[in-house]
């Protein structure tokens, strides 16, 4: 029951609003980073802000996800929304992460990706098509990357709904 409730309160839903515009944003070292497709690699695009309480806890679980995942299978990109570089930099100095932090200084990317709440995460397939998204915090320790990878590669975006339900059940059960 507990698992079912957790799944109900924090579940990915299929993204049905098509492709999102590509972006190029500075990272904390002021290097412009663009999202590039790599064969077989899923991308987790995570929007957050340092002032958003649930976002802070989530960064640690994203860090553990990267630690335990083959980088060829999944890449994590976090995007800070509408914050000054200095604030994000000093926050990340205290809570180091092992994935790039990009700076959406004027909310342009958050807006074009239709992000209305923080945190929000998208899972993109290897062609950078958004397939799943979640508009709240998520416990990334529960994510079964292998299962997710298989279900997304097998199914077309139109069949996402089935994939979501199946992958979520498996993810929750496997913990």
Partner 1 sequence: MTMHRRELLKAGAALGASAALPKFAFAQAPSFAPKPGAWRQFRVVTTLEIAKPNGKAQAWIPVPSVNESGWFKSGDSKWTTNGKAVLKRDPKYGAAFVHVEWSDDNAPQRIEVVSDFSTQDRAVDLARPGKAAALSEADRKLYTAPTALIPTDGIVKETSDKIVAGAGTDLEKARRIYEWVVENTARNAATRGCGIGDIAAMLKSGNLTGKCADINALNVGLLRAAGIPARDIYGIRVAPSKFGYKSLGAGSATITKAQHCRSEAYLSGFGWVPLDPADVRKVMLEEPPANLPLSDPKVAAARAALFGSWEGNWLAYNFAHDIALPGAKGPAIEFLMYPQAETAAGRLDCLDPDNLKYVIEAKDVTAA
Is residue 49 a contact point for partner 1 (CB under 8 A)?
A: yes
Quick one: which of 6, 52, 66, 147 contacts partner 1 (CB under 8 A)?
52
Whole-number Å distance between alpha carbons of 161 and 103: 31
Q: Which is nearer to partner 1, 119 or 149 (CB)?
A: 119
Cα–Cα dist 76/46, whole Å? 7
Structural contact between residues 131 and 152, judged by C-beta atoms closer than 8 angstroms = yes
Which residue stretch of 13-21, 46-54, 151-159, 166-174 sits at the interface with partner 1 (rule: CB under 8 A)? 46-54
Phi, then psi, of 37 in degrees rounded to 5: -75, 135
Min dist CB 111 to partner 1, Å, is 8
Residue 74 near residue 146 (C-beta atoms within 8 A): no
Taking CA 7 as the corner, what is the angle to CA 5 and CA 13, rounded to the nearest 5 degrees? 135
Closest to partner 1 by CB, 104 or 125? 104
Say whether residue 53 binds partner 1 (CB under 8 A). yes
Q: Taking a C-beta distance cutoff of 8 angstroms, is the pair 134, 164 a contact?
A: no
Give the shortest CB-173-to-partner 1 separation in angstroms. 24
Site for partner 1 in 69-128 (CB under 8 A): 81-82, 84-87, 90, 105-107, 110, 115-120
Distances, alpha carbon 154 to alpha carbons 110, 132, 149, 158, in Å: 29, 14, 9, 11
Q: Which is nearer to partner 1, 120 or 164 (CB)?
A: 120
Q: Which residues in this chain contact partner 1 in the complex, by CB under 8 A? A: 30, 47, 49, 51-55, 81-82, 84-87, 90, 105-107, 110, 115-120, 135-137
């Amino acid at each position: 029951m507990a698992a079912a409730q957790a799944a109900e309160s924090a579940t990915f839903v299929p993204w049905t609003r098509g492709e999102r515009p590509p972006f190029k944003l500075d990272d904390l070292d002021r290097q412009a980073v663009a999202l590039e497709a790599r064969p077989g690699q899923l991308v987790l695009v995570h929007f957050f802000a340092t002032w958003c309480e649930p976002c802070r806890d989530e960064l640690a679980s994203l860090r553990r996800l990267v630690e335990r995942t083959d980088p060829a299978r999944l890449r994590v990109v976090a995007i800070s929304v509408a914050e000054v570089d200095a604030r994000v930099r000093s926050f990340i100095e205290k809570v180091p992460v092992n994935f790039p932090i990009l700076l959406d200084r004027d909310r342009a990317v958050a807006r074009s990706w239709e992000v209305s709440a923080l945190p929000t995460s998208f899972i993109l397939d290897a062609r950078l098509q958004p397939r799943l998204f979640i508009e709240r915090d998520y416990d990334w320790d529960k994510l079964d990357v292998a299962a997710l990878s298989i279900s997304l590669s097998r199914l077309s975006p139109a069949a996402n709904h089935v994939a979501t339900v199946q992958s979520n059940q498996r993810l929750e059960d496997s913990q």
